[in-house]
Amino acid sequence: MTVVINMRDGVDEEKIRIAARFILRGELVAFPTETVYGLGADALNEKAVRKIFEAKKRPADNPLIIHIARLDDLERIAREVPPEARLLAERFWPGPLTLVLPKGEDVPDVTTGGLDTVAVRMPAHPIALSLIRASTPIAAPSANVSGKPSPTLAEHVVDDFYGRIACIIDGGETEIGVESTVLDLSSERPTLLRPGGLPLEEIEKVVGGVEVHPAVEGKPVDVARSPGMKYRHYSPSAQVVVVEGAREKVRRKIGELVEEYRSKGLRVGVMATETHDADEFFHLGKTEREVARNLFKALRELDKRGVDVIIAEGVEERGLGLAVMNRLKKAAGYRIVRA
């Protein structure tokens, strides 16, 4: 039996204490952050963390992010905290930025996928912060079965995990809609491992030039130093195709692809910023913030509507668009059509 706690109207400390008790007992609790819903366990409890991997069917070498609510906890989680990390934490925490740092002794190897580094962030969501303060630092990947689109609504978590975890906190729709940006500060030069809710351009204003890891563009890696680097991610059951190019050319190409797939007897869904004639359509919004917020919801919704193919409109790869395209390309298995 999974306890679903309604906190759509804001933080309720009594309900937070109920959820915190599950965490402290070594159980799993799904909770909202500003990015997506997380599937949380006591980050320093090896047995509890293993339950995350079992529930998600997540490969053991795919590291987790530890969520903290106090800067003091950073000293406990990380062996070293370089000056750049302090600058970025002061500027962007709480917020959608994860820092990869040398691992502290208190962190079990299972949490970091066996790495000597640890990924840590402070979420900018009152429910998440209250839950962590009432319990302990929480290891939390996205609250979805591995490989599927991340959840931005409690209903998405219910679909994947009801009856399999102790508790789900329903805090309504998440604000950003894509996961945190991951920046590696454990090596000589700051390196972007995963684009996310904090644009790269904002980070570079603080620390200068940032190297972009080849995995961001889909190059294969042997060792995943961050979530989202190595394994299949964000994929619905339907085949996904991404169309890139100038706006008008993209619009025409989507129309052509709809007819091509329909001629093969397939049901076609389209997710785009402008209306298209398809079997199913999901409007992503007009701004990059709207597109990011609606991205995973669109993939899940079109899947529920029973389409065979999802055609997705590509966006410009700057700002939040870099994170959106990173997710879309992975969802499509890098099936990209250039208009």
- Look up the CATH number of the domain holding residue 334: 3.40.50.11030
The verdict on residue 234 lying in a domain is no
Q: Say if residues 287 and 234 touch (Cβ distance below 8 Å).
A: no
Three-state SS for 61? Answer: coil
In a shared domain, residues 270 and 178: no
**Domain around 330:** 239-338
Q: Say if residues 66 and 118 touch (Cβ distance below 8 Å).
A: yes
Rounded to two decimals, the pTM is 0.95
Q: How many domains does the chain have?
A: 2
| Phi-psi domain of 100 (left: phi exceeds 0; alpha: psi -120 through 50; beta: other) | beta
Angle (deg, nearest 10), helices 126-133 and 13-24: 50
Please give the pLDDT value at position 224: 65
d(CA 42, CA 28): 8
d(CA 240, CA 81): 40
Task: For residue 102, say if its preceding peptide bond is cis, omega within 30 degrees of 0.
Answer: no
In a shared domain, residues 185 and 269: no
In a shared domain, residues 244 and 196: no
Q: Which residues are annotated as a binding site for ATP?
A: 58, 62, 117, 150, 194, 234
295 contacts: CB under 8 Å, gap ≥ 6: 177, 178, 284, 324, 327, 328
The verdict on residue 227 lying in a domain is no
Query: Looking at residue 35, which CATH number applies to its domain?
Result: 3.90.870.10
Q: Say if residues 209 and 278 touch (Cβ distance below 8 Å).
A: no
Please give the pLDDT value at position 218: 76
d(CA 263, CA 79): 59
Q: Say if residues 236 and 300 touch (Cβ distance below 8 Å).
A: yes
250 contacts: CB under 8 Å, gap ≥ 6: 243, 244, 313, 314, 339
Q: Which residues are annotated as a binding site?
A: 35, 58, 62, 67, 117, 121, 140, 142, 150, 180, 194, 234
In a shared domain, residues 102 and 206: yes
The DSSP letter of residue 111 is G
69 contacts: CB under 8 Å, gap ≥ 6: 122, 128, 129, 132, 133
**Residues 46-81, buried b or exposed e (16+ Cβ, 10 A)?**
eebbbbbbebbebeeebbbbbbbbeeebbebbbbeb
Nearest to 122 by CA among 84, 165, 86, 166: 86
In a shared domain, residues 165 and 290: no
Ranges of the chain with pLDDT below 70: 220, 222-233
Long-range own/partner contacts, residues 213-218 (CB < 8 A, 24 or more apart) = 213/184, 216/192, 216/326, 218/329, 218/330, 218/334
Q: Which residues are annotated as a binding site for L-threonine?
A: 35, 67, 121, 140, 142, 180
160, 185, 217 - which closes a domain: 217
Q: Is the C-alpha dihedral spanning 66, 167, 289, 9 positive or negative?
A: negative
186, 217, 248 - which closes a domain: 217
CA 227, distance to chain mean position in Å, is 9
In a shared domain, residues 249 and 175: no
